[in-house]
Every structure is written in C-alpha cells, then in structure tokens.
Amino acid sequence: MRPLPRSLNPLPDETLTGFVLRLAHRLGTTPGEIADRTGLPSRLPLGVLHHLNDEHLTGFARSTQLMPAEVSGMLLAPLGDRYGPLNPVLTPRRTPARMIYDNPWVLTRSTRYCPQCLTGDRSAIQDLHGGAWRRLWRLPVTFLCVQHQRLLESQCPRCATPAQFAPAANAIARLSDDTLHPWQCRFTARQTSQRSETACAADLTWVDPASTAPDVATMTVLLQVQRQLIDLLVASGPETAMSAGAPVPVPHYFADLRATVAMIFRSWPVAREHASTPCLAAAIDAEYASRVLQAERLLNTLGKKKTSKPYTVPPQGCLATGAALDTAAKLLDTHDPGDARRRLAPLVQRLREADLALSTWLRRPTWISVSLRQAVMDLPTGRRAAS
C-alpha cells in the first residue's frame, strides 16, 4: 500500500466509516476509491465497522499514515472490553466475525447521531469535513449527547431513513458517489416511475425548530443516566459497577442491563413504579404497546414464532431507550443482595408466568453476572415462600 497524498487525523471516538467518508471528501474522491487505495476489503462489508484482520489493518494504517493503534481505535471490537453485548464471553459467537450479526445491542446498519456534533467544533478541518460519526452512537446504550444536552436523532429528517443506513452488505451506502458531504444522507430514493437514482442528500446537521425536548425533570434524569453509562464505557473508566448487590466487572454490568431491559418489557407494567418521571413511564408504556403488537403479528407467521424477540431488543427511539435504561439501572443499583432480590422478584415471577423459555434464556450463566444471577435465581419451593 502506497501512502495517500494526504490523510487526516482521526477525531476522538470516530468510526472507521466516518473516517473514510471524511477522507474521501478531503481528497475529492469516492469512499469506494478510498477503500481500494487503502487495502480495505472491497465493497466495504459491514464487518469493517467491527474488526479488521492484521493485513487490512496494517495496510490501512500505512496508506493513511496512522499508527495501527489509531486504526483499531476506530473499530467497535475494542469496545467489547467494557461493553458486554460486544464481549465474546458474555455474547458468545461461533466466530469473532459473527459478533455483529443478529446482535440488536449494536447498531451496524444504521446509527444514532447528534446534529450539532456533526457540524463539528468550528476548527478549520471540521468546518470543511464535519465532526466525527462517533463509535458510541453505534451502541444503543447511547441515547443522548451529553455535550449538547439533547436526545440523539436516529433518522434522516427528510426521508426518515435510519441515519447511515447500510443497504445490502456494505458499511457505506453509495460507495461510488463523490458528490455528498460526510454529513449528508446517502439514502437512494428509488422512484420506479422516473428511474431516479439520486441520493436524498438531506443535511443531517439540520435541527428541526419545531422539535421539543422532554420536561426538565426528565432531561435531568436522562443526563445523569447517560453520564454514568458513558463514564463506564470510556477506557479510563472504573473497573467495576454495582449490579444487583455486588460490584461486577463493567462488561458484566452492561450485560445485566441488557437482560434487565428485556425483563422490564416482558413483565411490564410490573416495574412501572421504578420509572423516575411520568414522562419516562409513558415512554415505556408506548414502547411496550408496540412490542405487544409486534409479538402478536409474529404469532400469525409460519414456522418458529420467536414471539419473545420483540421484548429483548433495545428501543429504537432515544426517549424510550433512556427510560428503559434508567429503570434497569435503578433496579440494579443496590449494595444489598437481599434488596436486589426483593426488587427483581416481581419481575421474575411475571416473566416466568408469561414466557418460561425467555425467563430461562435471560438468566443463563453466560448472559448475566454472578450477582444478578443470584438475585433472579429460582429458590427451592420451600425457600421461595420464605423469601
């Protein structure tokens, strides 16, 4: 790989695809051309977001004049050191490449984003090519921009396609298009009557003046939850977090949140009393109703029904995500194992009645921490009455 005539410094927490978009814009070429000239797998398969093999990583580093560590810092795989849903121990997969498939707790085909962050920090280079498409926006546990104190967006304001939606198997849409700015929507609106293949091209830094934020009390709660979660995700964060009566390694904590969110939805409204504000309770009410509808629709399909699945995924909307994570975090946040057990017992009981298979699946040892497992474990019949 020959070095490119010019390169770019990666921005903090930037994704590889975001970097490729900015570099293509800087060099006046297409993302596909950047992929070819830096030795990335051709057509940029989805997996490049998560992981590069040694050959691809060193080739990309050499041609972009970056250190290999800077390149791996743009991938999602290293986040698995702290984020259980990307951690091979807590999210077992047959091969590392399978990690991002059928894994709703990482966004691979789209991303959330903050319009204000995308406009950049007013430095010359960001004025030209925009701010970072951030890695943390790819994790559903990120729902709010702490810097700009606003909920993240998840779709294009014009065509309503999920942001950076990847059609087919490519990590970037319109690989051969050199006309779009990194912050423009790349969705191809196919109008069959006109055979039009032009991009939507909406400016994703646009902020709808009519959009309203949740009430102040709700935003205060959400900001606090988001700050806590981001503090745990950054590499310099603490090693452990309190979960269901004991400190657990941080990746286990995120695995516990994933399982607890599923328990909350499948047993709703049992945990409603733990919602911090009426707005957050209402957000989970609405999300729950849509999940019930999805599950009912699955009942009428042929083959394996998978009716549990709608309850186990994180919400798409950022308000509902924040609401579910706030409730889950509150349920887990106790130093006392007995207290954890008492808080979670009503959810577990309802879950067992509603969906025994899911209740077993969510509580399996490879899925949750030891302390959460102890808190939600079935007691022998005699002791259950006593507890």
Residues in touch with Zn ion (CB under 5 A): 114, 116-117, 145, 147-148, 156, 158-159, 185, 187, 200, 202
Sign for the pseudo-dihedral over CA of 237, 243, 247, 253: negative
Nearer of residues 114 and 295 to Zn ion, judged by Cβ: 114
Q: Which CB, 66 or 117, lies closer to Zn ion?
A: 117
CB of 120 to Zn ion, least distance (A): 11
Residue number with CB closer to Zn ion (145 or 340): 145
Structure-derived torsion over alpha carbons of residues 285, 286, 292, 297, reported in degrees to the nearest 10: 180
Would you give the distance in Å from CA 59 to the centre of its chain? 28
Nearest distance in Å: CB 222, Zn ion: 14
Q: How far is the CB of 151 from Zn ion (least distance, A)?
A: 10
CB-nearer residue toward Zn ion: 40 or 145: 145
Shortest distance, position 180 Cβ to Zn ion, whole Å? 11
Cβ atoms of 128 and 296 within 8 Å: the answer is no
Burial class for 317, CB neighbours closer than 10 Å (0-12, 13-18, 19+): middle
289-297 LR contacts (CB < 8 Å, sep 24+): 291/265
Alpha helices in the chain (DSSP H): 16-27, 31-37, 54-64, 68-72, 115-119, 124-129, 216-233, 250-267, 278-299, 309-312, 318-332, 337-354, 356-362, 370-376, 381-386
13 contacts 62 by C-beta, under 8 angstroms = no
Name the residue type at position 18. Answer: G
Measure the CA–CA gap between 202 and 199, rounded to whole angstroms: 8
Shortest Cβ 306–Zn ion spacing (Å)? 30
Is the CB of 69 or the CB of 160 nearer to Zn ion?
160
Phi first, then psi: what are they for 10, rounded to 5°? -65, 145
CB of 104 to Zn ion, least distance (A): 23
C-beta closer to Zn ion: residue 42 or 147: 147
Cβ proximity to Zn ion, 60 vs 137, nearer residue: 137
Q: Which is nearest to 269 in space by CA: 243, 294, 289, 249?
A: 289
Q: How far is the CB of 188 from Zn ion (least distance, A)?
A: 10
Q: How far apart are CA 316 and CA 1, in angstroms?
A: 40
Minimum Å gap between C-beta 161 and Zn ion is 5
Enumerate residues 6+ apart whose C-beta is below 8 A from 250: 82, 232, 237, 238, 239, 240, 241
In the complex, minimum distance from the CB of residue 52 to Zn ion, in angstroms, rounded to a whole number: 27
Q: Given the complex with Zn ion, which of 145 and 351 has the nearer CB atom? A: 145
Residue 142 in contact with residue 326, Cβ under 8 Å?
Answer: no
What minimum distance in Å lies between the beta carbon of 116 and Zn ion? Answer: 4
> Residue 159 or residue 345: which is nearer to Zn ion going by CB?
159
Closer to Zn ion by CB, 29 or 116: give it: 116
Residues 14-53 as b/e (b if ≥16 CB within 10 A, e otherwise) read bbbbbbbbbbbbbbeebbbebbebbbbeeebebbbbbbbe
Task: List Cα–Cα distances, 109 to 154, 169, 185, in angstroms.
Answer: 12, 9, 14
